[in-house]
Amino acid sequence: MAGDGTDEEARNSPHESTAMQERCTEGNMRSDLEAPASPGIEGAAIRCRDVCRSYGKLKVLNSLNLTVPQGQIYGLLGPSGCGKTTLLKCIVGTLKISRGNITVLGKPPAFPGHDVPGRMVGYMPQDIALYSEFTISDTLWFFGRIHGLTSKETQARMDFLIDFLDLPQKNSLVRNLSGGQRRRVSLGAALLQNPRLLILDEPTVGVDPVLRAKIWQHLVDIVRGGQVSVIITTHYIEEARQATTVGLMRGGQLLAEAPPETLMEQRNSLTLECAFLQLCEDSDQMVSKQESSSEGKLMVDSQTPEAYKDERRPILSSGKSPSPADEVPRFTADWKVRVWHVVPKWRNVAALVIKTLVRMKRMPGSLCFQFLLPVIQISLMCLCIGGDPKGIQVAVVNNETSTHSFSRSLLSFLDNSSIIQVNLSHAEAFAGIHNGEYWGVIEFGKNFTSYLTKRMLNPRSSRDVVDGGSVHVWLDLTNRQIAIMLQKKLHDAFEGFVQSKLGSMAYMVAPPIKFEEPIYGSKNTDFTTFVTPGAILSITFYLAVGLTALSFVLERKEGLLDRCWVAGVSSLETMLAHLFSQLLVISVQIILMLLFILLVFKIPNEGSLALVVSLIILQGVTGISFGLVISSAIDDEQSANQAALGVFYPNLIISGVIWPVECIPYPLRYLSLALPQTYASEALRCIMYRGWGLTRLMVWRGFAVTLGWNTFFLILATVILKLRS
């Protein structure tokens, strides 16, 4: 019996199984199965009429009609790839149908005010769809919270399910369970809230025969009262004999829908498997007949043979065209119900936030890394960017010999921590700078002291005097920062020399421009001061993008998003939960980052700390919501990573974070101003360095633009997620 074989054996297409054919008795090939009386919408747990669904060009469900009566077990059987899972996904509403209609417990799935999806449905998808960092107990608590069970109810159901499904200890991690154990936990999650409709996709795969029998017995028990209905797919065809009705599916349609005994009787078969085989053979023969009558023209798409479809109609039970009584009424909902339907349930949001926190707790290493990463990044930035170059080698050619010369005095004012002076001859100095050993050459003529004195005393000095009384400097300008630093240090040294050596005559050589005390900032302001506010915002933004960009991608891939959706969690609730839980993480990141910046690196803050923190948190929210857009629009990790990284450099460069916006050429500058971090960085600089508040345009504009982006990204992500669910 296939049911005793491996999963692979069980998945084999029935017509490939010759051994099975031999075990079948020759049946009379009656193809006029009587359909059981089809219950109306009220009496049916599930009704599918004329349902079509394709994946691209592949037509998977082809005008399928199916009825699951209330209070029955419906076994949906069919070879691998015939569309069973697709049908179940359409029934629970995670896949949209391209034609036809489906009602579940009397209304279409996701109809406003209807508890489907929600606690009325228990769905066990084919994928395991469990959080691997959860324990068994976490998993059941999570679904219990979503279904609104009390702690007592959840605890009682958990005790029952652990015992009934023969699960290991409840604090065992899902990732450490065997495949079969995980499937049983997944089944437990579907059974947890005692739903009115159970939709089980291959719940018995990998489960030992004893437990399989126990599970079927449980299903038989729960439908006995007539209140609970079950639709179950299985490759172990014989176990479906315990179902009240079986639907035999092939090529996206139902070959037959009847009680198993009726099917076996009418096919004169000893087993359900044989009855199914005969039905398949019948339909194959009809296809061949059709093919030969159409002059050998073969159907190209084996899933959607149109002629084959027409020939098969007589053996379909509920595959008949719907009668007028079958017609689906127009469902309408009151506007208040519609509004209530979209309002997020805080119970679900709380359950999802707790889920994220539990997962974080289970990954302490990753959490610490997340908290420390921004601190490491901002520290590296403060240490490495914006400081003065140090240890720059400069060749000095001093042709004056006297120890009391002006040249020696001037050189003594050069900042030795930045500039290393190497005394050389003219030829050696130029050879060195050409070889890249020195960044500059400073040369004094042999009469520098006397010529400089003459220059000061006589403004009409000859060209030779002016030239001889000047310091001659040749620079390697390939590194602008070093060259600017050398020029500045020389000017500073000259100023120091003039002040100390020339005394009252200093005014004669000083330039006629005097820089007074700065209005904002300090005379020692370095590049780090400029870049820090923008860097804080960028780091917060990109870490938040990184935290969220993969969140839905992985959950969608593992079927967790769909499972939560079927449990009644809306796209908006998912979005809000991600936002709140990531907000907790970025709040800690921001606090740590600010502590380092203000206390360790002594970056000044003249303004309100509350405004600083608010703006950074809002930028974090921008990052989270942008990550959510990526996550909801993209299906695989690689593309999501590419999208997140793809915007990193262009945004960083154009936002004026590392170089002033005023340097950006005009068409690009307009783009820069529209980006989330440009005005926000400017606002943060104004708060921190000018001490400005919200009354200033430059400050509130940064907040307004950030809030605008947040709203736009969150709406966009919700719409995308909703459209794709």
The minimum distance between CB 620 and ligand ATP, in angstroms, equals: 34
Q: Which of 19, 55, 401, 649 binds ligand ATP (CB under 6 A)?
A: 55
State the minimum distance, in angstroms, from the CB of residue 96 to ligand ATP.
13
Q: How near is the Cβ of 53 to ligand ATP at its closest, in Å? A: 9
Are 80 and 64 contacting, i.e. CB atoms less than 8 angstroms apart? Answer: no
Q: Residue 247 or residue 319: which is nearer to ligand ATP going by CB?
A: 247
Indicate which single residue of 3, 36, 43, 81 sits in contact with ligand ATP (rule: CB under 6 A). 81
DSSP state of 35: P
Count of chain residues binding ligand ATP (CB under 6 A): 13
Distance in angstroms (rounded) separating the CA atoms of residues 118 and 199: 13
Mark the segment that binds ligand ATP (CB under 6 A) among 79-87, 347-355, 510-518, 524-532. Answer: 79-87
Do 64 and 257 touch, CB atoms closer than 8 A?
no
Q: Which of residues 675-714 bind ligand ATP (CB under 6 A)?
A: none
- Cβ contact 698:680 at 8 Å: no
* Burial readout 523-542 (b: 16 or more C-beta within 10 A, e: otherwise): eeeeebbbbbbbbbbbbbbb
Which among 53-61, 181-189, 293-301, 678-686 is the span making contact with ligand ATP, rule CB under 6 A?
53-61
Q: What tokens does 4 get?
A: 């005793």
The Cα–Cα gap between 646 and 627 comes to 12
Decide: is 85 part of the binding site for ligand ATP (CB under 6 A): yes
Answer yes or no whether residue 86 interacts with ligand ATP by CB under 6 A.
yes
**What DSSP letter does each residue of 161-229 carry, written as one string?**
HHHHTT---TTSBGGGS-HHHHHHHHHHHHHTT--SEEEEESTTTT--HHHHHHHHHHHHHHHTTSS-E
> Smallest distance from the beta carbon of 16 to ligand ATP, in angstroms?
14
Contact (CB, 8 A) for 393 and 470: no
Q: Is 253 in the site for ligand ATP (CB under 6 A)?
A: no
Nearer to ligand ATP, 65 or 126 (CB): 126
Cβ-Cβ contacts under 8 Å for 2 (sequence gap 6 or more): 9, 10, 12, 17, 20, 235, 236, 237, 238, 273
Site string for ligand ATP, 609-648 (x = CB under 6 A): ----------------------------------------
**237 lies in the site for ligand ATP, by CB under 6 A:** no
Q: Give the residue with the Cβ less far from ligand ATP, 96 or 434.
A: 96
Stretch that binds ligand ATP, among 54-62, 471-479, 534-542, 678-686 (CB under 6 A): 54-62
Shortest gap between Cβ of 88 and ligand ATP (angstroms)?
Answer: 8
- How far apart CA 87 and CA 82 sit, in angstroms, is 10
The number of helix segments (H) and strand segments (E) in the chain equals: 28, 13
Per-residue contact track with ligand ATP, 8 to 37, x per CB under 6 A? ---x--------------------------
Give whichever of 303 and 622 is closer to ligand ATP, judged by the CB atom: 303
CA distances from 507 to 26, 511, 562 (A): 120, 8, 80
335 binds ligand ATP (CB under 6 A): no
CB nearer to ligand ATP: pick between 334 and 635: 635
What is the token pair recorded at 38? 């089809």
Q: Choose which of 84, 182, 184, 196 interacts with ligand ATP (CB under 6 A).
A: 84
Provide the β-strand partners of residue 258: 246
| Nearer of residues 76 and 590 to ligand ATP, judged by Cβ | 76
Q: What is the largest CA-CA distance in the chain?
A: 129
Nearest approach, Cβ of 527 to ligand ATP (angstroms)?
A: 51
Asked if 374 interacts with ligand ATP (CB under 6 A), we say: no
Q: Which one-letter amino acid corresponds to residue 552?
A: F
Smaller CB separation from ligand ATP, 312 or 355 = 312
Minimum CB–partner distance for residue 266 and ligand ATP (Å):
24
Nearer to ligand ATP by Cβ, of 299 and 617: the residue is 299
CB 187 within 8 A of CB 171: no
Residue type, 469: G
Q: Which member of 14, 27, 75, 78 binds ligand ATP (CB under 6 A)?
A: 78
Tokens for 242, please give them. 């315990």
CA distance 77 to 249: 6
CB of 76 to ligand ATP, least distance (A): 9
Query: What is the four-CA torsion angle of 384, 388, 389, 395, rounded to 10 degrees?
Result: 180
Shortest distance, position 230 Cβ to ligand ATP, whole Å:
17
Asked whether 622 and 679 are in contact (CB, 8 A), the reply is no
Instruction: Estimate the crossing angle of helix 527-549 against helix 364-384, to 10 degrees.
Output: 160
How many Å apart are CA 67 and CA 47, to the nearest integer? 5
Min dist CB 187 to ligand ATP, Å, is 16
- Give Cβ neighbours of residue 324 (< 8 Å, ≥ 6 apart): none
Name which position in 10, 24, 33, 60 contacts ligand ATP (CB under 6 A): 60
- Min CB(542)–ligand ATP separation in Å: 31
Residue 92 binds ligand ATP (CB under 6 A): no
Give the integer Cα–Cα distance in Å for 153 and 141: 10
Q: Helix 571-595 and helix 609-633: axis angle, to 10°?
A: 140
Phi and psi torsions of 93, nearest 5°: 90, 5
Q: How far is the CB of 215 from ligand ATP (least distance, A)?
A: 18
Provide the minimum distance between the beta carbon of 484 and ligand ATP in the complex, in angstroms, as a whole number: 58
Using alpha carbons, select from 315, 309, 213, 249 the residue that is nearest to residue 87: 249
Q: Which stretch binds ligand ATP (CB under 6 A): 77-85, 327-335, 557-565, 632-640?
A: 77-85
Whose Cβ is closer to ligand ATP: residue 74's or residue 444's?
74
Residue (78 or 534) nearer to ligand ATP, CB = 78
Given the rule CB under 6 A, which of 74-82, 115-123, 377-385, 629-637 is the region that contacts ligand ATP?
74-82
Q: Is position 83 an interface residue for ligand ATP (rule: CB under 6 A)? A: yes
Q: Which is nearer to ligand ATP, 58 or 270 (CB)?
A: 58
Cβ at position 126, least distance to ligand ATP in Å: 6
CA distance 543 to 644: 10
Closest distance of CB 651 from ligand ATP, Å: 33
Beta partners for residue 246, in sequence order: 75, 258
* Shortest spacing between CB 198 and ligand ATP, in angstroms: 17
CB of 71 to ligand ATP, least distance (A): 25
Q: Which of 62, 65, 94, 126 binds ligand ATP (CB under 6 A)?
A: 126
Nearer of residues 91 and 717 to ligand ATP, judged by Cβ: 91
Task: Note whether 80 binds ligand ATP by CB under 6 A.
Answer: yes
Return the SS3 of 121: strand
Q: Which is nearer to ligand ATP, 80 or 412 (CB)?
A: 80
Binding site for ligand ATP (CB under 6 A): 11, 55, 58, 60, 78, 80-86, 126
